[in-house]
Structure 1
Amino acid sequence: MQRLITADTILTGRAGQTVPKGAVLVDDDRIVAIGHRDDVSRQASNEAVLHEYAGHTVLPGLINCHVHLALDASSEPLQHYLDSDDTDLLLTMAGRAQAAARSGVTTLRDLGDRNGLVFHLRNAIEHGALAGPRILAAGAPLTPPNGHCHFFGGEVDGEDDIRARIRDSADRGADLIKIMASGGQITPTSPPMWASQFTGEQLHLAVSEARSAGLPVAAHAHGTEAIAEAVDAGVSTVEHCTWMTGGGGYETRDDVAKTMAERGIHACLAWPPHWRAFLDRLGPDRAKQIVSRIRWMRDLGVPMIPGTDAGLRGSTFTGYAEALGLYEYLGFSRDEIIEMATTTAAEALGLRNVGSLTPGYSADIIAVEGDPRTDLASLSKPRLVMARGQLVVD
């Protein structure tokens, strides 16, 4: 089926690339033409379904690079997760994925669940059994015994376990490998957030084993030492990238940041929709430190992609547009932010033919009232959402 989508403005996803009075022609799950509405209309068949959005902007679907569909964003996400059996958990994961899609997010990268449930959900959506976003799934992240997020089932103890766990994840259809290079906050038995959980040699092994299986590696790393070792090992993305040291301090390292920039290792900051309240709770001095670190990374050319850690307390699956406001606060232009959340994110995650309104690309498309280059908040209420050519919101 062909669909002809017209709007006042088309944003391709790449900063500065716009088509006024434009149109996008979709055939089944692919974009076949984009340009001025008169030119594109002439390419449409007589049976094409017309979707007109006067006063709107059409752009690529958004990409949230860090979520946990197994967690419910409640005040007690871990306890609710532990209390759920696999059947109930899978159903609620499907509901969260669909809620994200309705909010304009057409691709999610899920970085931790149990028993490979996310693989079943991803496959059901890919096969058309369920409507929903594209999902890149890591499965259970690698962590030491009783380490951060051990409750997902990815505990490894030594090199043989690391190899076996990665091979098992690859065999089960993982799109990437997640490794908890440092401790974390929500796991009672975890080492402190700043403390490393793996040696540099173990991280090198994990990256090598994953590379042999054709998979990238995402490293959860709050601590400066863990960040440095993950970057040295050659991970694809560093999640959080907080630059913490013992005693609650911070240590930024220009050499590590410059290596990230040179190698194209992306930092996924994974900040929640309620980032303003989070900064307020930290107090002005701590907030200033955090903001200055992110700006420091940007100044050194560290590429960044947005994520929200959706599923953790208060980080909902429908708040992605609000989370993007952090980057405007940091000084990014709205054009840059839109590119980060679409084209740049797709490239960083290794997605081909995704993240841009380009002929031959996947028909992941949203339409929002007004123009997000004028008001980023317009992204929060899409009037049209199309994921791989399937209407989610119309």
Structure 2
Amino acid sequence: MQQLITADQVLPGPAGQRIEDGAVLVDGDTITAVGPRAEVEPQADDARHRTAVGGTVLPGLVNAHVHLSWDAGFGMLDRYRAADDAELLLGIAGRAQQALRAGVTTLRDLGDRDGLVLRVRDAIDRGDLVGPRLLGSGPPLTPPRGHCWFFGGEVSGIEEIRDRIRGNAALGADVIKVMASGGEMTPDSPPTWQSQFSPEDLALVVKEAHAAGIPVAAHAHGTEAIAAAATAGVDTIEHCSWQGAENSGSELRDEVAREIAARGIAVCHAYPPDWRTFQRIVVGEERSQAALDRIRWMDEHGIRFVPGTDGGLPTSVFDDYVGALSYYVDAVGWSPARVIDMATSGAARALGLDRVGRLAPGYAADLLVVDGDPLADVTALHQQRLVLARGRAATPETAVG
């Protein structure tokens, strides 16, 4: 079925491109034409017309760091551990659809039990469910009783590392996740600044994963873990908060930042949608300012960023991705155009996706229609009128006439 979507403007991506009185023509799950309405409309034979007066069409958003197994409520870890697979599968599917209705057409899940997210991904790919494009890691690699051990990815030694990577590959993992440092939310595990794997182990993870054609995402808070992950050649570094030993504050190293930039490694800061409350109640003014300083320092070194939310953690909900994007505009000070690019074409490049993140012929029909102009006010992204995932509408059919 053909669909012709017209609006006051089309933002095809990357940043800087804008088509006034634009149109996007979709045939099935693929975009076939993008341009001024006067040029595209004659190509639409029996297309269903969807017109968004006062609206904007842009690529669907990409959230690069979530945990769909968690429900974003306090006590989520206890509920996760008590749930059986059937309950988790329903929750994963439901939360993925929440994100889709909020304009997120691609999600990267970085840790679940036994690859359950991959089973939901496959159901969406088959057309059994309407949902976003899912990428999943399966159980992350972590040492015995290390950060997020309860996902089932505990490893010790070279052979277990190799076996786990092969096992995740057999599950169909799109990415290998390794917990290079500790984390805050796993009881009795190493602290966030402490490295959990040696540089040699991380190099082995990257070698084995890349040999299987799978990228590597490294959770790394501590500066030593960040340095080791960069040298190993991971594809993305999650959090990247540059914590010194004994959590003594930031330990920024110019030579490591330069290496991250030179290797093209993307950093996913993973900040929550309600970042203002998070800063005020959880982090505090001093640590919030330190986080901003780190982002600006990394930006000055040419490090590229990919946005994510760590969705599933308490208050990090799945239906307010725009709240997380507003952090980069309102707190960091970047333009809405840059942030939209980061959450669409930039994120697609960072995740190795070649048919999403832009509106162009041959690209997947993953797109978002909103009221207003998100280039002037990024929160306009929250005024969704239509979301298409593979050409299928995820919003009410009456949203766009």
On whether the aligned pair clears a TM of 0.5, the verdict is yes
Q: Matches of residues 192-231 of structure 1 in structure 2 within 5 Å? A: 192-231=191-230
1:140 equivalent in structure 2: 139
Q: Secondary structure at the match of 1:304?
A: coil
Q: Secondary structure at the match of 1:42?
A: helix
State the shift of 1:287 in Å: 1.8
Tell me which of 372, 376, 379 is aligned to 1:377: 379
2:163 equivalent in structure 1: 164
2:351 equivalent in structure 1: 349
1:106 equivalent in structure 2: 105
State the shift of 1:247 in Å: 3.1
1:389 equivalent in structure 2: 391
State the shift of 1:381 in Å: 2.6
2:365 equivalent in structure 1: 363
State the shift of 1:274 in Å: 1.3
Structure 2: gaps spanning 5 or more residues: none
State the shift of 1:285 in Å: 2.2
- Structure-1 separation of matches of 2:200 and 2:165: 16
Structure 1: gaps spanning 5 or more residues: none
- Structure-1 separation of matches of 2:84 and 2:185: 20
State the shift of 1:380 in Å: 1.4
- Structure-2 separation of matches of 1:375 and 1:289: 26
1:187 equivalent in structure 2: 186
- Structure-1 separation of matches of 2:219 and 2:302: 20
Number of aligned residue pairs: give it.
393
- Structure-2 separation of matches of 1:284 and 1:247: 21
Q: Secondary structure at the match of 2:192?
A: coil
Post-superposition CA distance 1:303-353 (Å, at most 9, x none): 000000000011000111000011112011110000000000000000011
User: Which amino acid in the other structure matches residue 369 of structure 2?
Assistant: A
User: Which amino acid in the other structure matches residue 32 of structure 1?
Assistant: T
- Structure-2 separation of matches of 1:275 and 1:289: 14
2:94 equivalent in structure 1: 95
2:290 aligned with 1:292? no
State the shift of 1:276 in Å: 1.3
2:264 aligned with 1:264? yes
Q: Matches of residues 74-85 of structure 1 in structure 2 within 5 Å? A: 74-85=73-84
1:313 equivalent in structure 2: 314
1:61 equivalent in structure 2: 60
1:21 equivalent in structure 2: 21
Q: Secondary structure at the match of 1:4?
A: strand
- Structure-2 separation of matches of 1:377 and 1:213: 40
Q: Secondary structure at the match of 2:43?
A: coil
Q: Identity, % of aligned pairs?
A: 55
1:274 equivalent in structure 2: 274
- Structure-2 separation of matches of 1:39 and 1:285: 53
Query: Mean alpha-carbon deviation: is it higher for 258-267 or for 230-239?
Result: 258-267
- Structure-2 separation of matches of 1:92 and 1:211: 31
- Structure-2 separation of matches of 1:371 and 1:274: 22
- Structure-2 separation of matches of 1:129 and 1:27: 20
2:333 aligned with 1:334? no
Post-superposition CA distance 1:91-148 (Å, at most 9, x none): 1110000000000000000000001111110000000000000001100000000000
State the shift of 1:13 in Å: 2.3
Post-superposition CA distance 1:29-65 (Å, at most 9, x none): 00000011011001111x1100000000000000000
2:309 aligned with 1:303? no
**How well do the aligned residues superpose, as a CA RMSD in angstroms?**
0.8
User: Which amino acid in the other structure matches residue 201 of structure 1?
Assistant: E
User: Which amino acid in the other structure matches residue 109 of structure 1?
Assistant: R
1:130 equivalent in structure 2: 129
Post-superposition CA distance 1:250-302 (Å, at most 9, x none): 10111111111111100000000011122223332222211101110011110
- Structure-1 separation of matches of 2:8 and 2:108: 31
- Structure-1 separation of matches of 2:194 and 2:114: 27
- Structure-2 separation of matches of 1:288 and 1:246: 20
- Structure-2 separation of matches of 1:105 and 1:371: 18
- Structure-1 separation of matches of 2:291 and 2:246: 16
- Structure-1 separation of matches of 2:210 and 2:129: 31
- Structure-2 separation of matches of 1:266 and 1:226: 15
- Structure-1 separation of matches of 2:246 and 2:277: 24
1:43 equivalent in structure 2: 43
User: Which amino acid in the other structure matches residue 42 of structure 1?
Assistant: P
- Structure-2 separation of matches of 1:15 and 1:118: 31
2:244 equivalent in structure 1: 245
- Structure-1 separation of matches of 2:157 and 2:76: 30
- Structure-2 separation of matches of 1:258 and 1:355: 27
Query: Mean alpha-carbon deviation: is it higher for 276-285 or for 35-44?
Result: 276-285
- Structure-1 separation of matches of 2:212 and 2:130: 29
- Structure-2 separation of matches of 1:387 and 1:19: 22
- Structure-1 separation of matches of 2:122 and 2:40: 33
